[in-house]
Structure 1
Amino acid sequence: MVMNVKDRVYAAAEEISAERRPTVSTVRAAAGVSNADATRFLKEWNEEKRVAGGQVAATPPALLEQAARLAGAIWSEASAAANERHTAAQTTWAQERSEKEQEIAELVADLDLAAAEKEAAATAHSDALARVQAQRDALERQLAAVTRQLEESRESERAAAMNAGEATRKLATAEARAETLEQVHTALLARVTPETPNDVS
């Protein structure tokens, strides 16, 4: 269908107005019309655009009210959806925070238990060392007593050697006693240093 001059000017003006304000020269070149036709129909096109803009600006109040109610309903629905998402996010965050707090509490309890076990082990180790030391002290006291007895026996032996009459009998008795005491001494020495129990870690 062949467009008339007016239609060509209007089409050219619409196309040019998408990028910039149409002028007589740009419309004339785009539509392929005379300068007079471009001037006349571009003026009409501009007038129609101005009137159309005024009609849009003068929207009936009832339509404006309906548009406002629609916008309010849309805004209310969007706000409700946003509140629901916010509530869900808060619930999820509260649950995650509760789980993290529980995890931290369990870790703290484990640390406290480990510290208590370590302290108990150290106390038990200290008690074991104290018992060993007490046994060692007792054995050392026994050794000192046996040592004194051995010295006394040797003194008796020397005194007996000086007696002419009963020297032989007393010497034999003293030697037997000395041998017995030496055996006791040796046995006690073997018990003086008992095996130290393994350290409690």
Structure 2
Amino acid sequence: MADASSKSRVYAAADKISAERSPTISTVRELAGVSNADATRYLKEWRDDRLAAAGKIAAAPPSVTELAARMAGTVWAEAAAAADARHAEVEKAWSGERDNKDREIQELARELDRLTAELKSEKESALRRLDECAATAEGRAREITALAAELAAATAAANSLTTDLATARATVDTLRATQDALIARISPESPATPEEAVTDS
């Protein structure tokens, strides 16, 4: 009798708790006021009974079955039509988006080609200018080298002329001195005056 009372209390507690949440051993035990063993045993039986009851489906009359089939067919047809329409809309939107993306990609590809061509042209132009500058620099370097050589030669020639001029001036001075000495040596002595003659006697 006690078992029947415990079972009924556990079933009642489980029904009440299941209205709000899933019953557990502890919640059933507290609400039913039974032992942990009874709560475990009868809660398992309660769950088994509920599963068994859910699995029992009464056979429907043919008219109900036919009506259900027609309704199911109608619902399925409407769902299929709605799905097809939605699929068509999505496919159309996706196709438009894909076309837009394709155009954007093509535009980006053209822009990339244009920028690549410009970069190549600028690079080639820069290389040509660099070659021209290098050639100009080499020419200027050769000119500077030639001018430096000419300047060195002119400086050497000027130094040589300066030396030759100094030598020539020294030679002229020597020749003048020699000439003056010779002139002095070959010039006749001046005659003595009467006063010099009296004095000498």
TM-score for the superposition, normalised by structure 1: 0.46
* Bigger CA radius of gyration: 2
TM-score (norm 2): 0.46
Which structure ranks higher in relative contact order (CA pairs < 8 Å, sequence separation ≥ 6)?
Answer: 1
